[in-house]
Structure 1
Amino acid sequence: MTEWIGLDRIASRPLPGRTVALANGRALDHAAFRDEASRWRSAFEAAPGSRWALYFDDTAAFAAALFGAWHTGKAVYLCGDNLPETVARLRAEVDGFAGDFANEDVLTAGAPHAAAEWPPLDEDATHLMVFTSGSTGDATAIGKTLSQLAREVEALQATFGDTLGDAIVHGTVSHQHIYGLLFRLLWPLASGRPIAPRLFFHEEIVAALDRPALLVSSPAHLKRMPDTLDWSNARTHLRAVFSSGGALPQDAAAAAGHLLGLAPTEIYGSSETGGIAWRQWRGATPPWRALPGVEWRIADEHLEVSSPHLPTRDWWRSEDRAEADGAQGFRLTGRADRIVKIEERRVSLGALERQLASLPQVAEVRVVVLPEARLQLAAVVVPSSDGAARLANEGRRAFARALNDGLADAQDAVTRPRRWRFVDALPMNAQGKVREADLRALFRPERPQPQWLSRSDTSAELEIVLDPELAVFDGHFPQIAILPGVAQLDWAVRWGREAFALPPRFLRMEMLKFQRVLRPGARVRLHLEWLQAKSALGFRYESEHGAHASGRVVFGEEAV
């Protein structure tokens, strides 16, 4: 097993034969890494100012610049992306930029540093700034010392290191976020595990796992692992799979464990706290267990922690609600603020609302999370007078696209609303309050998702399940919910147009019959028939209880 080296001595001590990173089939040894860090040390030593923003796509290049900056006493600002608004915000925070920044005067590496000596870093005087939305939703810089980071990677090594050996470190997450920085850069540097380039696609993961390896991933990747790929190499060579950044659902953990051959290990923490606890999925949802050195307690249903990964050992209150589970573990029961995780990205609903409200087309707005199979952000917008005119002239889709584009400099595609509703006024209850349940109700589907059983030029058959949450059940009737006849007609025509090339103009109904009511929860088959000679669409709703409704809709061409 490779010797453990403290983070303060990574660049200080020559380590002959030690591989730092792999790229394009070549190994970057520690001497080459140290040479590149020396060039950055020269550049940062000659550069004025003490605060520098770093952004590199390549992990090894970032590592060299990071240690070069630290060894000249610079505080490094770790920005999660290089979007224009992020860069604009950083200009007020930092003295300069280094790395992959467009349209910026960036610092470049210089000649190798003249000094042969690299004194160890002072853990308490070496600083990193990470950004988080915080409880208010405003971008906030969180200061970290090397001491905090070093204690965390030591805790990771103490908890998991014995089973990993010299495994290659693969990952789907970026080193520009604190989780990726710790697991894909700092921990591998200290433990001597080679760092592989970041992976983006499952096919890349399958191809890369041909030697002993660990995988640093996220729920977004683990939830979408295709069973059509050959995962036999993973089952042979993987020694650990880590997941962090958001909750990993039980079914996704089980599916990933089946394909990869070992249960994922989930890490819980935040930018403010660093790592707090871990759990490994085996069967039922396991409780969280604290990392070494971390203490926890529950006060007023909030989780509080005391940790060497925090600036002090004072108790820190999180916005996560929790409950104890036995003597050593706890379970999380939800959030107390309006910070949510979408595809493992931390999103402040309040900040997103403020950004939308700043657009001239918006008078009022509320953002909610739709608890569907995949969580989605949804926005309910009251247009301004200018916005209402644009909505009327351009239509809903173009107006939604314009609002989406208005967020592009501040939010990437994942953290923008996916669904939109435009209303004259926000829904309020009798007390004048806007409730999230009423906002979510605006996005409830009007019709179910059909399963097409057969389709031809003249006939089609599909099956639907009448979800009780369908909006069409509202008010029909309060005492006993039934599916309205007008909805049945609308669905038959809509799905008929999907199946056949129907003429554009509705003329009349024929032979309409409603035999049995349709109730929430029913599984129904809809038979469609295109009677071209009569220019009529025949439809028939049936279930295990028999016929429910039938009729014909006659169509014609547009009037001249």
Structure 2
Amino acid sequence: MAALLDTLPAEVDFTTSGTTGPPVAWRRTRRQLVAEAELLAGLLPDGVRVVTTYAPDHHLYGYLLNRLVPQILGVPLRSASVIDPLSDPTSGLLVVAVPSAWWQIERSLSRFRHGPVTIVHSTAALPRRAGEVLTRLPGLRLCELHGSTETGLVGVRRAPDDDWTLAEDVTIADEDRHDGPRPLRVRSPRLARRAGTAQPDEHTLDDAVIVTGPRTYRLTGRRNRLVKVDGHRLDVSRVERELEDLVGVPVACRIFRDELRGEWYEILVPGGEHRRRHVLRAVSYLLPAAHRPRAVRSSHSSLQPARELGPC
């Protein structure tokens, strides 16, 4: 641990990207980062020999699993784009996945001949296709992570339908309550802080949960209208307000599960094509490409409605 600490700056900032406006930076000490990397390394099976990553380094998830975990394990790292298939799958392969990487994992199934493959997933809801992929190849092992930029790792599960188990240094702040869904409020020595402030004692996530045991919980949805698109958190209520202020047209955002990204959203516009195009231009002006909806369409469109996003 000491040698790894010496390679890091005293503190590192990670940003949560809002829908609009400046990003918010959350600061972590190098001791917190190494502690979390060691937690993650301890969740992995023995025999990891190489890491292939689809996650960007600027996310906390990518920073830990791309930079620190391979150093702890003493294994090489290969970086891949979501347009790249897994190259030369080998025994002891660890894949650091984002939702949009699962279609490449699925395409590579026939090449996994050399032993178990472990897939670590985070940043957004697990795509529906992931469950199908996991059942098609018994040698695939899942390690799904739950947390946020503010908290770091909170929980882990090994199958899409399992309850979440708290990380060993995390506790639920109101764990004595078992009376139905409630906000997930946690305590952890790894909570990040804002610049100029002290480390908080606890943090309330955007997720609503049901506590199912002394160290387990089940996600039931979100406390607000947030969607995670490729790791970016968007408040779709704010998107609606910003668009209405900009173009004077009331719109509605609908969140749904997506086969590629895990979850996504679309914008419904009342009225005809002229008004829809007006909103579409406003979306291009208001939102960066990574935050834009799957579609902007008229609310009276004959297209099949998207599936509503259920509990993660």
TM-score w.r.t. length of structure 1: 0.46
Deviations 1:426-459 (A, max 9, x none): xxxxxxxxxxxxxxxx36x53669xxxxxxxxxx
2:184 maps to 1:308: no
Per the TM alignment, residue 332 of structure 1 is displaced from its structure 2 partner at its CA by: 0.7
* Equivalent in 61, 68, 80 of residue 186 of structure 1: 68
Q: Partner of 1:411 in structure 2?
A: 288
Conserved in 2, the CA contact under 8 Å of 1:133 and 1:346?
Answer: yes
CA distance in 2, matches of 1:163, 1:131: 32
CA distance in 2, matches of 1:335, 1:277: 16
Q: Structure 1 residues 335 and 397, CA, compared in 2 at 3 Å: closer, same or farther?
A: closer
Deviations 1:297-324 (A, max 9, x none): 4567111111121144723222211112
Deviations 1:3-48 (A, max 9, x none): x6643134xxxxxxxxxxxxxxxxxxxxxxxxxxxxxxxxxxxxxx
* Equivalent in 311, 315, 318 of residue 205 of structure 2: 318
Q: Partner of 1:152 in structure 2?
A: 36
Conserved in 2, the CA contact under 8 Å of 1:212 and 1:237?
Answer: yes
Deviations 1:49-68 (A, max 9, x none): xxxxxxxxxxxxxxxxxx5x
Per the TM alignment, residue 403 of structure 1 is displaced from its structure 2 partner at its CA by: 2.2
* Equivalent in 5, 9, 12 of residue 6 of structure 2: 9
Supply the AA of the counterpart residue of 2:233. Answer: R
TM-score w.r.t. length of structure 2: 0.79
Q: Partner of 1:209 in structure 2?
A: 89
Q: How many residues align?
A: 293
Conserved in 2, the CA contact under 8 Å of 1:129 and 1:143?
Answer: yes
Deviations 1:272-311 (A, max 9, x none): 0001110001xx7101011121112456711111112114
For structure 1, the residue ranges without an aligned partner over 5 or more in a row are 11-66, 71-125, 384-390, 423-441, 450-560
Q: Partner of 1:141 in structure 2?
A: 25
Give me the CA root mean square deviation: 3.5
Matched-pair identity in %: 25
SS in 2 for 1:175: coil
Q: Structure 1 residues 363 and 250, CA, compared in 2 at 3 Å: closer, same or farther?
A: closer
Deviations 1:184-215 (A, max 9, x none): 11222233221212332352x1x232353210
Supply the AA of the counterpart residue of 1:403. Answer: A
Question: Highest relative contact order (Cα 8 Å, sep 6+), 1 or 2?
Answer: 2
Q: Partner of 2:196 in structure 1?
A: none
SS in 1 for 2:118: strand
Q: Partner of 1:244 in structure 2?
A: 122
Q: Structure 1 residues 448 and 397, CA, compared in 2 at 3 Å: closer, same or farther?
A: closer
Deviations 1:201-238 (A, max 9, x none): 352x1x2323532100022222x3575x4534435245
Q: Structure 1 residues 342 and 369, CA, compared in 2 at 3 Å: closer, same or farther?
A: farther
Matches within 5 A, 1:438-453: 442=299, 446=302
For structure 2, the residue ranges without an aligned partner over 5 or more in a row are 193-198, 306-312
Matches within 5 A, 1:130-529: 130-133=14-17, 139-160=23-44, 163-165=46-48, 167-201=49-83, 203=85, 205=86, 207-210=87-90, 212-222=92-102, 224-225=103-104, 229=107, 231-249=109-127, 252-259=130-137, 261-281=139-159, 285-296=161-172, 297-298=174-175, 301-311=182-192, 312=199, 314-357=201-244, 359=246, 362-371=247-256, 374=259, 375-380=263-268, 395=274, 398-407=277-286, 410-412=287-289, 414-421=290-297, 442=299, 446=302
SS in 2 for 1:263: strand
SS in 1 for 2:185: strand
Q: Structure 1 residues 271 and 376, CA, compared in 2 at 3 Å: closer, same or farther?
A: closer
Conserved in 2, the CA contact under 8 Å of 1:217 and 1:244?
Answer: yes
Per the TM alignment, residue 164 of structure 1 is displaced from its structure 2 partner at its CA by: 3.9
Conserved in 2, the CA contact under 8 Å of 1:323 and 1:331?
Answer: yes
CA distance in 2, matches of 1:226, 1:213: 12
Matches within 5 A, 1:513-552: none
